[in-house]
Chains A and B, each alone.
Chain A
Amino acid sequence: MQIPIEYYLILSAFMFSVGVVGVLTRRNAIVVFMCVELMLNSANLTLITYSSYLGDTVGQLFVFFVMAVAAAEAAVGLAIIIAIFRNKLTINIDEINILKW
């Protein structure tokens, strides 16, 4: 382990920031979804880094849990997007305002 822990943490911080930029700026709901996956991945990377540098395997177990929840989230989110697309024929998030009045 010659690489300092900061390198990994900064890598995942940058990845998270790129994901946040995507969520804030993109219009297509599926691209927003991809950016949420990026953010989840960077959080997982942080957990694995801590787990590895602390010599404790529990961090890897939590990454496993996060992945399971992410898979469930992706399935339900895609179903919601498809249901919205069927009703509104668009998935641009600035054109979907059915909760606004």
Chain B
Amino acid sequence: MEIYDIIFYLFAAITLLSAFFVVTSRNIVHAAFYLLFTFFGVTGIYVLLGADFVAIVQLIVYVGGILILLIFGVMITNKITQVDIKTGTVHTLPAAIGVGLFTGIVGAVILNTEWRIVDSPMPVATLSTLGEMLLTEYVLIFELLGILLLVALIGAASMARK
């Protein structure tokens, strides 16, 4: 058992446990905090896989952006003064059966496939490669994403306004 394995198991355990608590905790604010730990765990695994830039972007976008947005949503849509912040569940049994089947099939496919693996050398910094690709080969998608974000911003502002 090397240090590499220990780090992987640690982050995998953090990710899975907190993902489980996101779904099961009855308090929305607690679910949001568990989601924070899930994002941290996924970030650690990104670093382990040699994706340094994506890990930083994950932290900035998800923890700094989406999670704050979700907590603001909780703040606005729940009557904090009353005890309405807890929520229930519906359709538990059919969901459990369907998702169990799905997980079994996906797991069987993963375990029975012969994965073609290229022996990569030590991970190098990906920042310059990514930036170069983003501004040459994939520049159209990059620009379209900018337009999409602008449209989403305008749409969200006009929808949430009275």
Binding site for B on A (CB under 8 A): 1-3, 5-11, 13-22, 24-28, 30-31, 33-35, 37-38, 41, 44-45, 48-49, 51-55, 57-58, 60-61, 63-65, 67-76, 78-83, 85-86, 91-92, 94
Q: How large is the interface on B (under 10, 10 to 19, 20 to 34, 35 or more residues)?
A: 35 or more
List chain B residues, Cβ under 8 A from A49: 49
Q: Are A48 and B110 in contact (CB under 8 A)?
A: no
Nearest residue in B to A82 (C-beta to C-beta)? B160
* 19 extra interface residue pairs, beta carbon distance < 8 Å, beyond A51-B49, A68-B148: A2-B2, A3-B4, A6-B110, A10-B110, A17-B106, A19-B23, A20-B99, A24-B95, A24-B98, A27-B90, A34-B22, A37-B70, A45-B45, A53-B115, A53-B117, A55-B120, A61-B133, A64-B57, A78-B69
Query: Closest Cβ of chain B: how far from A48's Cβ, in Å?
Result: 5
Give the number of A-B contacts (CB < 8 Å): 220
- The answer to whether B81 has its CB under 8 Å from any CB of chain A is no
Give, as a whole number of angstroms, the nearest-CB distance from A34 to chain B: 5
Residues of B within 8 A of A72 (CB): 148-149, 151-152
Residues of B within 8 A of A63 (CB): 51, 54
Q: Which residues from chain B sit less than 8 Å from chain A, CB to CB?
A: 2, 4-5, 8, 12, 15-16, 19-20, 22-23, 28, 31-32, 35, 38-39, 42, 45-46, 49-51, 53-54, 57-58, 61-62, 65-66, 69-70, 72-74, 76-77, 87-92, 94-96, 98-99, 102-103, 106-107, 110-111, 115-120, 123, 126, 129-130, 133-134, 138, 141, 145, 148-149, 151-153, 155-157, 159-160, 162
State whether A61 touches B111 (Cβ < 8 A): no
